[in-house]
Structure 1
Amino acid sequence: MIKELQMPSLQNSTILVTGGAGFIGSNLIEVLLENKASVVCLDNFSTGHRHNIEAYLEHKQFTLIEGDIRDLETCHKACSGVDFVLHQAALGSVPRSIEDPITSNDVNVSGFLNMLVAARDAKVKRFVYAASSSTYGDSEGLPKVEHVIGKPLSPYAITKYVNELYADIFNKTYGLNTIGLRYFNVFGRRQDPNGAYAAVIPLFVKQFMKHESPIINGDGSYSRDFTYIDNVLQMNLRAITTTNESALNEVYNTAVGDRTTLLELTQYLKTYLADLDAEIAHVEIKHGPNRIGDIPHSLASIEKAKEKLEYQPTHAIEEGIKEAVSWYWNNL
């Protein structure tokens, strides 16, 4: 998919991917190396996995720095000689932030500020960062448009909104060019199905494959703009290669522009997995209580990304689910 997009060459660029051993970060590293960029990966392996980047460790254009964004010296080292930063490092998960708001703030706010300072000092050309749809908070309007947000509903959401405020100030004060990508429920290959804070799609796939009943929070009517990883890769590439000056120092919804209920999602997973294991068709789906901090519905307007970044999503929910299911089937 990515190779088919008309993109300027990255051959002479050095790009830092923070959180590069994570789900999104490792996919970014793969596509950047395919496009002949030199890549620096910064990760402390707290949530990322070494096996995600194992294939690149001997690549002549790949450098791994094992370190923490909460350490300013490490951030300076990682940014040295870098043209672009793709900042993915963060502690995700609304429930995690509710249980431990201090650590989420340390990583997502203090770590983010360290990276901005290091990028400024290294005079990087552009700082592209993972923002979040959680920033929309209690805003009820659909679809979500970038300039209308509500009050955050979790410590995690607060940290991601603060990121946007800091990025804006660093542009206005220091001239650092930034682009924020508000990710909407990203899923796909390499997303970790294990751990207390596993995302819903890999978790449900793992449970179905074990013939265990997935538990939907609530009645299943909550809906999300589930966004396949290839769409996210495209947005990151467009953010670092755009020559449209008016596209800089903005935030963009990174999504498909369609929504799927949790019941519909679960049925997609069940159907495609049952093609591989007929027994899965008989696995019962259960329901539990709604989760604290969850918003009922999420749907992005992607008009701004289309207009300013020439973004065109290549994978709708069903195409993405098919590819993700195939990947998990062969790799779990």
Structure 2
Amino acid sequence: MMFKNLKNKTVLVTGGAGFIGSNLCEALLKLDVKVRCLDNLATGFMHNIQPFLNHKNFQFIEADIRNLEACQKACHQVDCVLHQAALGSVPRSIKDPITTNAVNVDGFLNMLIASRDQQVKRFVYAASSSTYGDSIKLPKKEDEIGAPLSPYAITKYVNELYATIFKSSFNLDTIGLRYFNVFGRKQDPNGAYAAVIPKFVIQLMNHEAPVINGDGSNSRDFTYIDNVIRMNLLALTTKTESALNQIYNTAVGDRTTLVQLVHSLKKYLSKFDPAIANVKEIHGPNRLGDIPHSQASIDKAVKLLNYKPTHNFESGLKNAVEWYWEQFKS
């Protein structure tokens, strides 16, 4: 069994009631790992972790990473940390940069300090493709970044800088995973800052026209949740010294335009409801802080972590659509 060296380890998942965090909790529990979940439920949900609450290896702590004492308690007797807690969304960070900074920078620093103080052996954290900023080079390579385009992007870059310093100053091993447009089961389709795929899915299911920002030619390296889980597990378990204290793109290595996305969503959803094929999309203005194109090079992860995506965009989208239909059909 892969990842068997995780058995009986204790792993703290911050943001564990959120989309990515709850999927990570589930995957770890299946590997017989002791899982501690820390979440303040600001953007996470109890229903995401409800199936685990009575599991003998699961512990839920409702607390905020902006509270250092809570971070210290959560990290006590923990082997590794998967730090997912953050305030996502570029638009949210533009509207409220102070709160985004408090959670994503102050909270991140609290978690590093607590991990150092509690002798955590490895700190794996959610970085972001937003760090590439205004760089127009494709595919995106880890050591070639541009200037940030949003407060959110700044916070995520600062995380990488702090992680580097905590290795050099305190010998805390870290790995940063730059997520590229993650999607899949448990991703919330509601709210002002819902991600594009779940938002479009629900709109199409309701026969509402999805609004595409710009002309639809903007492209993203949409990455299915199972690929992200795999990268986190590889980062947790690698024994290769040169693989530690690195940043890795966490993606598929391909790109899909928004027009192509809507076409694929209609194709998969119309199998459940043929009328969806006739829903027309509409176009709105480009969104402030957005980059036109995003595509990752995954060469570094392939070389150092033996990463291979388990799902391409289409196979992941098909799975996601089936999950949303099952969860939200009327």
Q: In 2, distance between residues paired with 1:9 and 1:141? A: 38
Choose which of 28, 31, 36 in structure 1 pairs with 2:27. 31
Matches of residues 67-82 of structure 1 in structure 2 within 5 Å? Answer: 67-82=63-78
Tell me, yes or no, if structure 1 residue 97 matches structure 2 residue 93.
yes
Choose which of 189, 209, 223 in structure 2 pairs with 1:213. 209
* Percent identity (aligned): 69
Match of 2:190 in 1: 194
Shift of 1:8: 3.1
Matches of residues 301-316 of structure 1 in structure 2 within 5 Å? Answer: 301-316=297-312
Match of 1:118 in 2: 114
Asked if the contact 2:4–2:31 (Cα under 8 Å) also holds between the matched residues in 1, the reply is: no
Match of 1:331 in 2: 327
Choose which of 276, 279, 284 in structure 1 pairs with 2:275. 279
Q: In 1, distance between residues paired with 2:227 and 2:102? A: 29
Could you list the runs of 4 or more consecutive aligned residues of structure 1 that deviate by over 4 angstroms after TM superposition?
none
Q: Which amino acid aligns with 1:92?
A: G
Structure 2 gap ranges (5+): none
Shift of 1:296: 0.3
Q: Does the residue aligned with 1:55 lie in a helix, a strand or coil?
A: helix
Choose which of 240, 261, 265 in structure 1 pairs with 2:257. 261
Shift of 1:47: 0.2
Q: Which amino acid aligns with 1:237?
A: L
Tell me, yes or no, if structure 1 residue 238 matches structure 2 residue 234.
yes
Q: Does the residue aligned with 2:191 lie in a helix, a strand or coil?
A: coil
Choose which of 132, 135, 143 in structure 1 pairs with 2:128. 132
Q: Which amino acid aligns with 2:269?
A: L
Report the number of matched residues.
328
Q: Which amino acid aligns with 2:176?
A: G
Match of 2:199 in 1: 203
Match of 2:220 in 1: 224
Shift of 1:193: 0.1
CA deviations over 1:6-53 (Å, ceiling 9, x no partner):
323321200000000000000000000000000000000000000000
CA deviations over 1:262-311 (Å, ceiling 9, x no partner):
00011100110001100101111100000000000000000000000000
Shift of 1:312: 0.3
Choose which of 236, 245, 248 in structure 1 pairs with 2:244. 248
Matches of residues 122-201 of structure 1 in structure 2 within 5 Å? Answer: 122-201=118-197
TM-score under structure 1 length normalisation? 0.98
Structure 1 gap ranges (5+): none
TM-score under structure 2 length normalisation? 0.99
Shift of 1:97: 0.0
Tell me, yes or no, if structure 1 residue 44 matches structure 2 residue 19.
no
Asked if the contact 1:9–1:35 (Cα under 8 Å) also holds between the matched residues in 2, the reply is: no
Q: Which amino acid aligns with 1:138?
A: D
Q: Does the residue aligned with 1:232 lie in a helix, a strand or coil?
A: helix
Asked if the contact 1:252–1:305 (Cα under 8 Å) also holds between the matched residues in 2, the reply is: yes
Shift of 1:219: 0.3
